[in-house]
A and B are shown apart, each in its own frame.
Chain A
Amino acid sequence: MHIPDGYLGPLTCAVMFLVMVPIWYFALKNTSKRLGPKEVPMIAVLSAVSFLVMMFNWPVPDGTTAHMVGGTLFAIILGPWASVIGITVALVIQAFFFGDGGVTALGANCFNMAFVIPFVGYFIYKALKERIGKVASAGVAAYIAINIAAVVAAIEFGVQPYIAPGYCPYGLNLSIPAMAFAHLTTAGPVAAVVTAVVVGYLERSRPDLLALKETSPNIRGE
């Protein structure tokens, strides 16, 4: 889901950076008010977890590859605003050290992976956890969140032929089915299983880490 340089036209890149500016601002502001002694190292390790799970590429049946992001897991533990910061950091390192995701597409990539995934995942988890339990809702939330993000990325790719010729050559008719297929069949199930397993482990061994809202009242940034 890391859009490289040269696929998005200048207008899309600029708009996506502009959209991210207030999101980054509120993420820093909200997180700054809500940092307890547990949360500081936790943001750093979850950011590294996110970086690392994105290195595990999985084969998609159509011959491409896909990976999970860890955004829903991050948001379940620390809330969506801290996730914006942690995943943005992972994406910055990926772009500047490893060329994974373009520097001009960084705004778009942060929107898709550091904003859409944690927010969608967090609110689905929150809506479902009383009804179907934490483990199942974590899995469902991770599955839906990465798929919505994939379709958002596909829209960014797919509008280019209409607004910026010379950039991504494929339109929405190809980008949406391809991105949806990769994430419905591969990255989605991986994200669902990993997120559910980790939440299940935490529920048994460290339920306090799933209940930081109760122990540090403002951590979730609502």
Chain B
Amino acid sequence: MEPWLKRTLVALAVFIVLSPLGILFTWDYGDAWGEWGEVKLPNGKVWTPKSYFNAPLPDYNVEGWEDKLMASIGYWISAVIGVAATMLMSLGVVKTIELWRSEEGK
């Protein structure tokens, strides 16, 4: 393995370990703007966005893991799964376009 690749993978692993900081830093904060589950409108009504899809690990957590420790573990699991899935899928896309290129080359 090339040294830069090895070093980048080590850095990724370190950031996966640190990833729960991403929720702990913002524990007492609300959602990002425009990413609320429901909105209390000035007229007193509550608006909820329509939902079309249920993700298996919503908000990078296992459903029901609410306290800081369990949510951090859920975040870790999500980081590992997410990084692995992202790398596999991008490798898959790149391999597919390589095939596409070699088909076009014929």
Q: List, in ascending order, chain B residues with CB within 8 A of A211's CB.
A: none
Q: List, in ascending order, chain B residues with CB within 8 A of A55's CB.
A: 19, 22, 60, 75, 78-79, 82
Q: List, in ascending order, chain B residues with CB within 8 A of A209's CB.
A: 4
Q: List, in ascending order, chain B residues with CB within 8 A of A86's CB.
A: 90
Give Cα distance in the complex from A170 to B35, angstroms: 12
- Asked if A32 and B97 sit within 8 Å, CB to CB, the answer is yes
- Asked if B52 and A45 sit within 8 Å, CB to CB, the answer is no
Give Cα distance in the complex from A97 to B83, angstroms: 11
Q: List, in ascending order, chain B residues with CB within 8 A of A85's CB.
A: 90, 93-94
Q: List, in ascending order, chain A residues with CB within 8 A of B16's CB.
A: 52
Of the listed residues B21, B51, B93, the one surrounded by the most CB atoms of chain A closer than 10 A to its CB is: B93
A-B contact pairs, 29 of them (CB 8 A): A1-B32, A7-B34, A28-B97, A32-B100, A43-B90, A43-B94, A45-B87, A48-B86, A48-B87, A52-B82, A55-B75, A56-B22, A57-B32, A63-B30, A64-B32, A65-B26, A65-B31, A67-B32, A89-B90, A89-B93, A93-B82, A95-B53, A97-B78, A98-B55, A99-B58, A169-B39, A175-B34, A182-B32, A209-B4
B70 interface residue (CB < 8 Å to A): no
Give Cα distance in the complex from A87 to B26, angstroms: 24
Pick the residue among B15, B29, B86, B98 that contacts A65 (CB under 8 A): B29
- Asked if A96 and B49 sit within 8 Å, CB to CB, the answer is no
Q: List, in ascending order, chain B residues with CB within 8 A of A47's CB.
A: 86-87, 89-90
Q: A44-B86, A64-B29, A97-B56 are in contact. List 9 more A-B contacts (CB 8 A).
A: A4-B49, A35-B98, A41-B2, A60-B33, A65-B30, A85-B94, A93-B82, A95-B53, A209-B4
- Asked if B25 and A57 sit within 8 Å, CB to CB, the answer is yes
- Asked if A49 and B12 sit within 8 Å, CB to CB, the answer is yes
Question: Which 6 A/B pairs are nearest by Cβ-Cβ distance?
Answer: A6-B49, A99-B55, A6-B50, A32-B97, A56-B22, A47-B90
Chain A residues 158-208 with CB under 8 Å of chain B are: 167-170, 175, 178-179, 182, 206
- Asked if B101 and A2 sit within 8 Å, CB to CB, the answer is no
Give Cα distance in the complex from A175 to B50, angstroms: 19
The count of residues in chain B whose C-beta lies closer than 8 Å to any C-beta of chain A is 56
- Asked if B94 and A206 sit within 8 Å, CB to CB, the answer is no
B 69-87 to A, binary, CB cutoff 8 A, 1 in contact else 0: 0000001001101110111
Pick the residue among A49, A53, A98, A179 that contacts B57 (CB under 8 A): A98
